[in-house]
Chain A
Amino acid sequence: MASLHVLANPARFRRFSQRVLPALSVVTALALAVGLWLALIESPPDYQQGETVRIMFIHVPSAWLSMMGYGLLAALGASLLVWRHPLAALMARGAAPVGAVFAAVCLLTGSLWGRPMWGTYWVWDARLTSMLLLFFLYLGHIALSRAYDDSERGDRAAAILALVGVINLPVIKFSVDWWNTLHQPASVMKLGGPSIDPSILTPLLVMAVALLLLFIVLVMLRTETEIDRRRLEAAEMAL
């Protein structure tokens, strides 16, 4: 834990990430290659859904990562408000769009996956609807942190929002699940499909790890950008 506090200095983090990113990017690319190969070629097509089930290998990890991303925003928010770690604010600014993109990818892949089954691009499935609301929470965080001329004010407001949001997420999920069961008593094709077969599990986990690495790489890159941007702002104000 002490090492994490050391990293809390933005300049130090930037040096750390510059050293680590090249190697990490290569590992990520390899993991993605392996994962995609397993997902697209090795794993069998689904009995009912045919080839389109392969979208699940992106859809499901994206869902996990977008939820994890919001948890990260909340943790960074707490870190900013309690310990005033300068890096926490910058990393939150960097990570929010990444999490939002994963949420959007989840929604898009979910829509594409469901189209052959449903006949439409969208159904008000409980999980998709919850993901849509999570996407809105991300948009709110992004908008709020950038709504102030004083960036520190925006960072702290967004931090408070992230903490309130993370507490509300289970409540939102619970109420959307309830809403869905109430309004759709007829059987709806579950997006998860039948119980997960081992032959699907391996590619899924590999893709999950690969996308997690991608998430980390993207967040580190974006945090570097935010560190540079903040430095530029400070330099401009000193003129």
Chain B
Amino acid sequence: MTGFSALLARDLRLVWRRPGDVMVVLAFFVVATVLFPLGIGPETNLLARIAAGILWCAALFAALLSLERLFAADYEDGALDLLLLAPWPLELAALAKCLAHWIVTGLPLALLAPLMGLLFGLSGEALWAVAATLLVGTPALSLIGGLAAALTLGARRGGALLALLALPLCVPTLIFGAGAVEAVAIGEGFLTHLAILGALALLSLATLPWAIAAALRQAGE
């Protein structure tokens, strides 16, 4: 069994034993989404217009919620040292952690969001756009968030600082993800947006594991 798969399997098993942690994040997503119509007004046309942005922002905040614990648990119980001492690249370990985060957060959000889209009067192709863009876009969020989590390990006000660091970097993904549903609304396809989201995901994949590994090594010093 390779180290990468051992780490991934372990983290997934840990989440499996505490499903409440994931449920809470998804519940937050639902509550946050519902808050907007309450704050803005129930007019269906308006809600359908802003649904994409709301769903994406709520997904972003929900994903951020679970990021603080991504490395903090390992930092606190000493398991991080063992990862730093593993005889295979730390960049792969970083990738395994972010992948685990995506599987338990990004993936469920991508499946849950279209259901919430129904509450906003989205239909057919728009709902597909929501699901597809979240599916392709959330891996980048897990990687960016992973970097912010690694950079703020042991820092004061870690949670708020994490959000401050991650959110500006998530803006491109947010713009193209939410923009895809807009494109559907005006009759264009969303494949361009999906392609750009894919490119952003690849860019994150090509650069962030190294940054995350560097940040984790700093935490071990």
User: Nearest chain B CB to A112's CB is how many angstroms away?
Assistant: 24
Cα-based distance from A163 to B208 in the complex (angstroms): 11
Bits for A125-161, please: 1 = Cβ < 8 Å to B, else 0.
0000000010011011001100110000110110011
**Given A156-B218, A164-B211, do A179 and B151 touch, yes or no (CB 8 Å)?**
no
B77 within 8 A of A: no
CB distance from B24 to the nearest CB of A (A): 26
Whether the Cβ atoms of A147 and B155 lie closer than 8 Å is yes
Pick the contact of B161: A143, A160, A172 (CB < 8 A). A143
Q: Which residues from A are CB-within-8-Å of B200? A: 171
Q: How many inter-chain residue pairs (CB < 8 Å) link A and B?
A: 78
> Does residue B187 face the partner (Cβ distance < 8 Å to A)?
no
Q: Give the residues in chain A near B208, CB-CB below 8 Å.
A: 164
Q: Counting CB contacts under 8 A, is A202 at the interface? A: no
Cβ of A182 under 8 Å from chain B: yes
Main secondary structure of the interface of B (DSSP, over half): helix
Given contacts A160-B211, A171-B203, A175-B176, contact A139 B152 (CB under 8 A): no
For B215, give the chain A residue with the smallest CB separation: A160
Interface residue range, chain A: 20 to 34
Q: Are the C-beta atoms of A137 and B215 separated by less than 8 Å?
A: no
> Within 8 Å CB of A172, what residues of B?
168-169, 171-172
CB <8 Å contact, A144 and B165 = yes
Contact B151 A144 (CB under 8 A): yes
Cβ B165 vs Cβ A160 within 8 A: no
Q: Is A94 an interface residue (CB 8 A)?
A: no
Contacts of B175 in A (CB 8 A): 175-176, 178-179
Residues of B within 8 A of A147 (CB): 152, 155-158, 161
- Tell me, yes or no, whether B221 is within 8 Å of chain A by CB: yes
Within 8 A of B (CB), among A54-97: 81
In chain B between 150 and 167, which residues have their CB closer than 8 angstroms to a CB of chain A? 151-152, 154-158, 161, 164-165, 167
Picked from B158, B165, B207, the residue with its CB within 8 Å of the CB of A140 is B165
User: Which residues of B in the span 96-139 have a Cβ within 8 Å of any Cβ on A?
Assistant: none
**Cα(A157)–Cα(B218), bound, Å:** 7
Given the contacts A136-B164, A136-B168, A153 and B218 also touching, CB distance less than 8 Å? yes
Q: Mark B204-221, 1 if CB is under 8 A from A, else 0.
A: 000110010011001101
Q: Which residues of A contact B147 (CB under 8 A)?
A: 160, 164
Residues of A contacting B157 in the complex (Cβ-Cβ under 8 angstroms): 147
List, sorted by A's number, 26 A–B pairs whose CB atoms are closer than 8 Å. A136-B164, A136-B168, A140-B164, A140-B165, A143-B164, A144-B161, A147-B157, A148-B154, A148-B155, A148-B156, A153-B154, A153-B221, A157-B151, A157-B218, A160-B147, A160-B151, A165-B169, A167-B207, A171-B172, A172-B169, A172-B172, A175-B171, A175-B175, A178-B179, A179-B179, A182-B182
Given contact pairs A156-B218, A160-B215, A160-B218, enumerate 7 new A-B contacts (beta carbons under 8 Å).
A136-B167, A140-B168, A148-B155, A153-B218, A157-B218, A161-B151, A176-B175
